[in-house]
Structures are given as C-alpha cells and as structure tokens.
Structure 1
Amino acid sequence: MCDTASSGRIFNVLFLCTGNSARSILAESILNKDGAGRFRAFSAGSQPKGDVDPMALKVLESYDYPAAGLRSKSWDEFAAPGAPVMDFVFTVCDNAAGETCPVWPGQPMTAHWGIEDPATKGVLDIHRETAFVTAFRHLRNRIFAFAALPVDSLDRSSLCAKLVEIGRSDGATSPRDSAA
C-alpha cells in the first residue's frame, strides 16, 4: 500500500514498457527532472531490448532532459530483494499492461498510461523524431499532472481515480479503467 501520510517523503515510481528502450525511458528522465525532488523514477521492461533507442536520447537532450546513465533493463531488477520499493508503477505500453507483472514489494499503486510506440513510426528519421517528440509531450503532460497531485493528502481511492484520469489524457492508446 502506498504511504500517503508522510509529508516530505520521496516516492519511487517505476515506468514499464515491454522493450524499455523508448517510452519508459522518456518517462523516467522526465519525472526525475520535473518531479521537484518528490519522486525518484526508474524504468524497466519485461523483454528489454538491451539498448536505449538513440532517438529517445536525442529528443531528451533536445529538450534539456538528462540522458546520461539511462539503460534498457529487466523489470526483474525491481522485484529482487534489495531493490527500491516502488510506490507507483505505470505501464506506458499496451503490451506491458497485458502481461503478468512480478509481484512488487510494498504493493504499489498501479495505472496504465499507454502511449503509442514512437519506435515503430517509419524508417525516416524525421518521422521517427516527430513520433518521439509526440510521445515525449504526452508523457510530460501526464507527469506534470501526476507531480502536481497532493499525493500526501489524497486517500488511496481518490489517488487511484486521479491516476486513471491521467492515463486517459491526450495520446492514450487504451481506455483501461484499472488502477490499484
């Protein structure tokens, strides 16, 4: 269960996508920069590609978001003993949302924030870059909305409703209604 009673606490957030090479990487960087020190973001995938998509790094750098140290990794790292305990877990691709996730220590709140995969948008760099910028903007808007929530003062039910609402914002790929 997410601890919402302790003011000043840093909340751990995990963004999941199957390949952990694009959308989840973008979200990790955005929240780490824009989370105002209230959040610590991570990303992972069920079947990590092993490399971060170079276009994700290019877009992050072009908007002055940190790209150093980002890597494609398995979600198993975050289910292992000694891993940071997550307060929130967000799936950002429909495939990851449909997979059976590990049991996360601490029973974090979860929601689906599906964004279209920019890595599948054509072979020309201009088309790919446009798709990555679009994904970046949708994720940044969702993260701004999330970071603005009074997480410390909302009850679990109200917070779940807000997380679902954020997941339905512009760019949503799937109208999933579940949050836990």
Structure 2
Amino acid sequence: MKIGDIVIVANLGEMKIYKANPRDLEAEAGLKPQNIKLDQINGIDYVEAHWKVKDIVTDEAGRFKADAGKMGGNSGERHELEKKMEEDVIKAIAEDIAKTVAEQNPPKYFLALPENIFSRVWQKVEALQAKYPDAVNKLFRYVEQDLTKTDKNKLPDIFKTQGKHF
C-alpha cells in the first residue's frame, strides 16, 4: 500500500473508505512511500439493510384465498422481500465502489467484503465495467472478511498478509 491508494471496507450495513496519506516527511517526499496512514474520507450507511420486514409490512397477514379455496392467512412472500432488500443493498454497494474509484482515481485500491456477499457484489461491479472501467482494473488486493469494525491502522497489514490478488 502506497500514498494515494484507497481502501474500501464494507458489509451489508455500512461502507468505509480510507485514503493512504503520508505518515511522515520521508513518505511525503517520496523516499518511503510505504510509510502511510489511513484517513477516512467517506462513510456510507445502508439504512435499508437495518430494516426488518415487520417495519415494512403490517403485522397481520392479509385475508385471501389459500390453495384449497378456503379463507386463510397465508403469508409466504416475506422471504422474497428479504431477498429483494439484500439484493438492493448489494447493488448499492457495487455502485458505490465503482463511483468511489472513479471519483478518487487512485493508483490502485484494496477491497474487503464479507465472504457471503463478496462474489455477488463483485459480479455487479464487473457489470458496471463499461461505465466505470477502473473499478475492475484498479483492484489490487481483496479480502473476503468483514473488516468494517477493524482498527484502520491494522488494515495495511491485513491486506499485505491475507489479501489476494485479483
């Protein structure tokens, strides 16, 4: 990790974006570009991820005909709503990654997402490649872990030791 690189850590609830800035005068002069500190430049909360289905729909299931033609309180659509909400957040994360890389234009960037959503988010980032080509091209290392609560000073070492090249 060198001066100018960015680090993006996210999960379904939030995203934090850090920029590598010089830690000392030697780093600023370009003599030791690896002497960096991470400064948070943006944070995004994904409010929809914190919602519960009960907050969106009413408490009672509607009264409509069940399969046998009798009146019933069938409520089999909740799981579809939960999936839709999760997919909306995954799409938003991918778009925010792509836009951030385009706006910041770093030499390279590092990405950490939880293992259970990494591939789905990355597919959406790749789908945006025509509009945001650097979002795919500038990814240097990634980690399939939730690092949103990790101390920012530990992130460079985590990416160095556990990070995978794409």
* TM-score bracket for the superposition, by shorter chain length: 0.3 to 0.5
Relative to the length of structure 1, the TM-score reads 0.38
**Which structure has more strand as a fraction of its residues?**
2
- Greater gyration radius: 2
